[in-house]
Amino acid sequence: NGGTRRSSKAAKPPPRQRRKSSGGAPIRRADVITDPKVVLRKVVLLAEKLKTDTKGRKKLKLADLNIPNVCKEVDEMDGRTLQAHIEKIIVSIVNDILEGKGFSFTMPTRSSSNQLYVPELDRIVLKDKTITREFASVSNSRKVAITTKILQLVYELCMKNIHVTKRDLFYTDVKLFVKQNDSDDVLEDVACMLGCTRSSLQVVASEKGVVVGRVSFEDAGDPIDCTRMGVGGKAIPPYIDRITNIQSDAKFILLVEKDAAFMRLAEDRFYNTYPCIIITAKGQPDVATRLFLKKLKTKLNIPVLGLVDADPYGLKILSVYMSGSKNMSYDSAHLTTPDIKWLGVRPSDLEKYKIPDQCRLQMTEHDIKTGKQLLNEDFIKKNPIWLEELELMVKSKEKAEIQALSNFGFQYLTQVYLPQKLAQGDWV
């Protein structure tokens, strides 16, 4: 708030607006159908429709749409191909220096103004605006040096055919990189410049996401059974290309925003009662979790249902899985999983499930601002029910976490809320 002085008296929070109660008692376990065959009937119908819709249909690509002023989509590259691309860039730079043109890198800019949402693909793509960073420029010289170092390290990784973490990369030259955010940011630029996926660079983030439930696979040849991974689940490996032989009898994938909800589902063995695969990235989605989800959806062709908090950030997280992030829009073709259904917790659920006042949170000014920004996003506007739900949230100025359901009992999520939602086909 600029130079505004804080009053010595604590400011009183705005009075809570009284809502008209819809009346009635909360939904209880005795009111809910729990027979798995009945509960999953509409999920099975959704899966059948998904298979029918995709059978024999050619996958639409950006190039098929002939949209002007957009970048060509990046490709997955093996080590040798990537080495050849790096060598080509370095030779071009050397020639420029010898000809007196100076030392510079030209690459697509990843700024928000260079992004485009494509409804036909339901994801964000990168437009064709480029930026040139010259070593002779005081403002760009350090980034050019970092870019050169990253290219050198990626070339070395390709030669040795090994992977390293982003943290390993940072510690190769702490004095040059200074902050890991700087080396991470240039790593994205390098992938963009080379025209390859981020995973092709053989630099990965530390393990973050976890999976549990009705799926088995081989990780670099080692068998993994995700029904035997306890409450903590199996860490999603950063080397997605090494995951093979995926087997599953799951009816759907449940994508969960938070670790707390994931642990409740895992401890209650929800996946045994209602055959499913449960995945969480513990908040903001990381690359490995996004790649793993896409790999499962592509292989198994079953519905993905999202369970997130009833706040703007829950919806934002869901949108990153579906439509991609602006930071990595150049790689959206490989990272996005289209047609994820929003199962809950939705703003309308607060009244439907009689979430009490003490379990609801007042939205902050920043929350409201984020919600209003989302209302202007194309991926929200294309879905009338998503738009309606978000408008309800912004208007009521209330939000709630998944854990608000624990007010009715710690197992309410697994024994009442989710079975009721699934049985009713209550997703959008």
The catalytic site residues sit at 171
* In contact, 347 and 396? CB cutoff 8 Å: yes
Q: Which two tokens stand for residue 301?
A: 């062709």
How far is the C-alpha of 170 from the C-alpha of 338, rounded, in Å?
A: 33
Alpha carbon distance 256, 227 (integer Å): 17
Residue 163, H or E segment: none
1 burial type by CB count under 10 A (0-12 exposed, 13-18 middle, 19+ buried): exposed
Q: How many CA atoms lie within 13 A of 380 on its CB side?
A: 20
Say how far apart CA 398 and CA 392 lie, in whole Å.
Answer: 9
DSSP 198-232: GGGGTEEPPP--EEEES-EEEETTEEEEGGGSTTT
Both structure tokens of 326? 């602006």
Q: Using alpha carbons, select from 306, 414, 427, 426 the residue that is nearest to residue 36.
A: 414
The Cα angle at residue 342 between residues 27 and 280, in degrees rounded to 5: 95
Of 306, 310, 321, nearest to 427 by C-alpha is: 306
Contact in structure between 301 and 265 (CB atoms under 8 Å): no
The whole-angstrom distance between residue 296's C-alpha and the CA centroid of its chain comes to 14
Residues 6+ apart with CB under 8 A from 208: 236, 281, 282, 286, 288, 289
The amino acid sitting at 80 is R
